[in-house]
Amino acid sequence: MNKRVNLMVASTVGTTLEWYDFFAFAMCAVLVFDKLFYNTADPFMATLLALGTFAAGFLARPLGGIIFGILGDKIGRKHVLVVSLLMMGFGTFAVGLLPTYETIGIAAPILLLVLRIVQGIAVGGEATGAILIISESMPSHQRAFWTSFTMFAGPLANVLAAMVILIVQRIYGDQGFLEWAWRIPFFLSALLVFLGFWTRRKVEESPEFIAIKSKREHVEHAPLKESFVTSWRRMLTAFFLKASENTFLYIFSTFLVLMATTYLGFSRGPVMNAILWASLVEVVVVLFAAAAADKFGRRPILLIGLGLSAISSFALFTLKPGETSQTELQLFVILCLASHGVILGAMAAFMAELFPTRIRFTALSTSYQLASVAGGSIAPILGAILLKVTGSGLAVAIYATVMSIPALIAVLRTPETRDNPAVEPDAPAIKAN
């Protein structure tokens, strides 16, 4: 039992810290980077450039997913998780050291872009590695519950990032935060990464990986080729589901910060506060949804979560400037992130159970990270453009709902995965050429 608890804590802590780094960048992209790193007189263009840099991290995630996925299927899940954590920590700490455009000119946004790419590659290995090492180590009848701890790491990281930024803003004020104090959340990542590394160094390798590795130790394994040859349909299912979930996440967080501060007229503090409390609620919802997924199956919970997220997006993005109170904003943000949490509760177990162990890391991380490009990378940018062009958030809600339709169809067409065996019968692996 102690080993299971240690594994859960290490994976959850490490994943939370990596997502903290990712979300701190996302929030500062629309609060700071557009003003300090881009030399343009047009505030909207500066915002798009900052969001474009944010999106670059997503473009790098498939590369990280493929590299770390292949390594994870060849040498193990544990080593990948340690390397990805250290890589993310370096990239985030270095962001806090960057000079601005006023100091070094065009080199500032270029260096910011490079570090964002480093972050993206690191998350490409982290996101699925943490899911798999838990799903392959925990009891199958509680797989959704245990893997949900890696899923609520995202909302928990949102809480952590929002709380740190909110505290720093209150201590130094909006002007002080903009001038230099925005660096503090990035410097804190050094301490957080040390904590994550300390917890992960004691983690044992996944029993399923050890079992499958012993069966093919004399076979030259080609997990990427085998994934596309034998599991492309399941990869599409994972792709559509993740793309929809990621779209909802980033319009409910990153884009929301932009919309609430520029369109609805709220100051930064109340918006960050709304996200903080809504993310805390989402953490609880994720755990309850995961327990329900273990009892009733993954598919019904996913369908409910996708439907609720689409409906709640219309409630949030039809709020009117000058007519929306802080209480209304808070309630609707809670509704949206709670609906998103229902998806997260069942998603990790569902996607891990789609693939056989020998190619699971490669197949899942490749489809998972490609979906992040189609979902999270463009969601804030497209949301900003739609808001600018239409003058209303309604178009953003329609966009998010359209993104959920392929996911709904894919989940409906996929058989329930709850009773899939932990280690599937070992078929001959496709050899490398």
pLDDT at 433 over 60: no
Residue 424 lies in a domain: no
Which residue range is the domain that position 185 belongs to? 2-201+224-413
Q: What is the pLDDT of residues 325-354, one digit of tens each?
A: 999 999 999 999 999 999 999 999 999 999
97: confidence class by pLDDT, cuts 50, 70, 90: very high
Residue 420 lies in a domain: no
pLDDT at 426 over 60: no
pLDDT given for residue 277 in this prediction: 92
Q: What is the DSSP code string of 211-268? A: HHHHHSTTS-B-HHHHHHHHSHHHHHHHHHHHHHHHHHHHHTTHHHHHHHHHTS---H
Region 377-397: mean pLDDT is: 91
Residue 10 lies in a domain: yes
Residue 22 lies in a domain: yes
Tell me if residue 175 falls in helix, strand or coil.
helix
In whole angstroms, give the CA distance from residue 395 to residue 363: 33
pLDDT given for residue 292 in this prediction: 97
Residue 145 lies in a domain: yes
Q: What is the pLDDT of residues 124-140, one digit of tens each?
A: 877 788 888 888 887 77
b/e sequence 251-273, b meaning 16+ C-beta within 10 Å: bbbbbbbbbbbbbbebebebbbb
pLDDT at 408 over 90: yes
Q: What is the pLDDT of residues 12-68, one digit of tens each?
A: 777 787 778 778 888 888 889 989 999 887 888 988 898 889 888 888 888 888 898
Enumerate the H helices of 297-325 as residue ranges: 298-317
Let me know: does 317 contact 394? Beta carbons within 8 Å: yes
pLDDT given for residue 2 in this prediction: 65
215: confidence class by pLDDT, cuts 50, 70, 90: low
pLDDT at 308 over 50: yes
pLDDT given for residue 99 in this prediction: 95
Let me know: does 366 contact 224? Beta carbons within 8 Å: yes
Phi, psi of 221 (to 5 degrees): -90, 135
Residue 428 lies in a domain: no
Q: What CATH number is associated with residue 149?
A: 1.20.1250.20
Higher-confidence position of 432 and 164: 164
Counting the structural domains of the chain, the total is: 1
429: confidence class by pLDDT, cuts 50, 70, 90: very low
pLDDT given for residue 325 in this prediction: 92
pLDDT given for residue 57 in this prediction: 84
pLDDT at 218 over 60: no
Percentage of residues of the chain with pLDDT beyond 90: 42
Burial class (CB in 10 A: 0-12, 13-18, 19+), 152: buried
**Average pLDDT for the chain:** 86
Residue 206 lies in a domain: no
pLDDT given for residue 104 in this prediction: 95
Residue 121 lies in a domain: yes
pLDDT at 424 over 60: no
110: confidence class by pLDDT, cuts 50, 70, 90: very high
Tell me which residue has tokens 């993954």: 298
Region 176-192: mean pLDDT is: 89
Whether the model clears a pTM of 0.85, i.e. scores above it, the answer is no
Region 59-78: mean pLDDT is: 85
Region 71-90: mean pLDDT is: 83
pLDDT at 187 over 70: yes
- For the chain, how many helices (H) and strands (E)? 20, 0
Higher-confidence position of 377 and 238: 238
Region 418-427: mean pLDDT is: 56
Residues in the chain: 433
In whole angstroms, give the CA distance from residue 116 to residue 97: 14
**Could you tell me the sign of the dihedral formed by the alpha carbons of 262, 266, 270, 274, in that order?**
negative
Higher-confidence position of 40 and 405: 405
In sequence order, what are the beta bridge partners of 431?
221
Tell me which residue has tokens 């000119």: 105
